[in-house]
Amino acid sequence: MSLIYPIHRSKKRRSVAIKVRDGEVQVHAPWALAEAKIQQFVASKEAWIQKHLQRQQQQLAGVQSRNWQAGERLRWLGQPLTLQVRTATRKSCCCKDNTLIATVTKRSNPKKEPKSIVRGWYQQQAKQWLDVFFSDWPRNHPLQPKSWEVGSFSSKWGHCSREGELKFSWKLWLAPEWVVRNVVIHELCHLAEFNHSAKFWQWVARYSDDYQAAERWLRQHGVTVLNEAYLDYADD
Ligand SMILES: [Zn+2]
């Protein structure tokens, strides 16, 4: 099978990089590199590309794309929630008996408003989840974050700054709770080791028995959970 892919050239780039994202291949290359050389490089990586393409396409096919219509499924800590959209004079969002009710205003954009309301709800709930997590965290623990917040990332679950500030994507809380816990522990361990060295993973193993399964889960489902067109995953 021959691959079709766009080539993004850059004057800053020194080597060729291949990215497989959302079931598509993208190639990044230095400004002046001959196309034949790029093709040769891509051909040498074809088995790797096909493996990732197939996996991503399978995952994308198992999940419906999102239109923010009533009846769609969302998840909170892995549990399914059904989206309901109502209209009133004020925006709000609440969760009752596995139904997430997003109330939009008459003047709102029906495509955009439910999404921003739901995202606001996730950010608020996720922040509360973190507050509870850290209120249980021992005060004499060697890993102490300076602060924690919930934001939005397009391609990662969490981040730890050199100053000890932790930030997580609201999309993480679509995942099962054991996975969320593992991401928080992962970022906390960066307070001790600011890299992914063997030493770092020793810290992680000290506080988690199932981090390898969590890493697998995140790799497997990141394609659809982090992608705003889906924000969901197929049940295993
Ligand atoms: Zn990390």
The ranges assigned to domains in the chain are 7-61, 73-225
- Contact present, 85 and 102 (Cβ < 8 Å): yes
What's the pLDDT tens digit per position in 173-225? 999 999 999 999 999 999 999 999 999 999 999 999 999 999 999 998 998 99
- Ligand 1 geometric centre to CA of 196 (Å): 6
Q: What CA–CA distance (Å, rounded) separates 45 from 64?
A: 30
CA 229 – CA 75 distance, rounded (Å): 15
Residues 60, 231: Cα–Cα separation, whole Å = 11
> Is the CA virtual torsion 124, 108, 75, 182 positive or negative?
negative
pTM: 0.85
Per-residue pLDDT averaged across 156-177, rounded? 97
Q: Quote the ligand 1 centre to 234 CA distance (angstroms).
A: 25
Q: How far, in Å, is the centroid of ligand 1 from the Cα of 66?
A: 29
How far is the centre of ligand 1, averaged over its atoms, from the C-alpha of 157 (Å)?
9
User: Hey, CA dihedral for 172, 175, 177, 181, is it positive or negative?
Assistant: negative
